Amino acid sequence: MVVTRFAPSPTGYLHIGGLRTALFSYLWARKNGGKFLLRIEDTDKARNSQEAADAILKAFEWLNLEHDGEIVYQSQRDDIYAKYINKLLDEGKAYKCYMSKEELAELREAQMANKERTKYNGKYRDFKGTPPDGVQPVIRIKAPLSGDIVVKDGVKGNVIFKAEDILDDFIIARADGSPTYNFVVAIDDHLMGVNEIIRGDDHLSNTPKQIVIYEALGFDVPSFYHVPMIHNSEGKKLSKRDGATDVMAYKEMGYTPEALLNFLVRLGWSYKDQEIFSMNEMKELFDPKNINKSASIYNTEKLDWLNSHYIKNTPNSELAKLLEQYGLLLASHDKKEILLDAIKERAKTLKEMSNLVYEIITTPTYYDEKAAKKSFKDNAIEILEAFSEKVSAAKELHLPSDYHHLMQEVVDEMEIGFGKIGQPLRIALLGKMSGPGLDSIMAIIGRDETLLRIYKAVEAHR
């Protein structure tokens, strides 16, 4: 059975790169009928934030990325880690190191002066004497001093590390007894049954150390897939300005979960020329062996395009529910269907949609000066007043076509082009030149509001 995991540290909010890793791990587990586990790596008590941990769970809930089993919190597993540290000590695979901070600093200075790689020199590796007074020891693992450590990576192929170049007897427990990152990761992945690890390639340098721990404890080494980073359009590390922000900020900006996940799955992975994937298609088609070896490029235009696609294809009843987060209560609006149909083709985000709705349902408080000057000239006021008379006299006005018919009557009777009525009417209705079809706007706001807006605009531009 394939068992994957996502293991964020709650020192900050879940960002876009972490979410992509979680998505890849989730899809691979689901494709294989396996398990997708969630572990909160909260051993850094000084930097951990419960608020950040809660935000991670909130993001998973919003995106419908369900995990299997209970969430594992590393901060609750100190007894387990201590057990394995003692096991390595008892078996002579780890040892207590009494080197003081001052000694370590002197060693590093000497190595740097000799242009050597700075590393621990193994002073206490086979120490049999009396421990020095006043030094609380750290625990170091006996790492191999020579040979190769091979990371069998499903994305990069075999990555070979020379033990003498990258390893010394690294610390697995600090002087206060707290275990280090690489140690607890290896322990937890084994005990949780994780056998396929998909993570960012910034973790690749940690992998040889984790393999040393797996092998020292007799654990099976899992399969690894190290995913290249996400870069901005200039090929540099993604910043907040580029999109490396809290995942929940994407909800606030008006992106749908479907669009965001579709966008992320295509950052570094592809299937033929397909761009739009449902969740079921992602689960069916995703394979980490097809992840690109090079970094992917974050493209806001692509995300906007995908989001507009999902908005256009979302039922209006569901769109109305999504727009409630912006204070819009449209579920019982009698012109909900006309309203949403009028704007869903124009909006890239739900937030943009909400702004368009407010522009339609709110009487303008100002008029675009430049556009109004261009539109309210010649006989524009006369045209609007003629149209108002027809709107007032009409027996039934419900559909956009009803209003369009009246506009056409004015155009025909006054022998003018459609723009002669369209431009000043748009200014009257919205206060600006852009927006949905005029007939749809009037059908949405109704007869009385249409007449009110025309009256106010005429009075303002006489």
**Residue ranges for the binding site for ATP?**
240
CA angle at residue 58 from 56 to 62, to 5 degrees? Answer: 120
In 3-state terms the chain splits into helix, strand, coil percentages (rounded to 5) of 50, 10, 35
Cβ atoms 44, 76 nearer than 8 A = no
Q: Helix crossing, 336-344 with 350-361: angle to 10°?
A: 130
Of the candidates 172, 180, 207, 8, which has an alpha carbon nearest to the alpha carbon of residue 87? 172
Cβ atoms 438, 453 nearer than 8 A = no
Query: Hey, what are 450's tokens?
Result: 């249409």
Are β-strands 72-73 and 35-40 bridged in parallel, bridged antiparallel, or unpaired?
A: parallel
Can you say how many angstroms the Cα of residue 262 is from the centroid of all Cα atoms in its chain? Answer: 11
- Binding region: 240
From the candidates 240, 370, 373, 377, give the one annotated as an active-site residue: 240
H helix and E strand count, the chain:
19, 12
Give the three-state DSSP class for 215.
helix
Rounded to whole angstroms, how far apart are CA atoms 337 and 357?
Answer: 12
335 catalytic residue (yes or no): no
Task: Indicate the Cα dihedral angle 28, 32, 35, 36, nearest 10°.
Answer: 10
Q: Which residues are catalytic?
A: 240
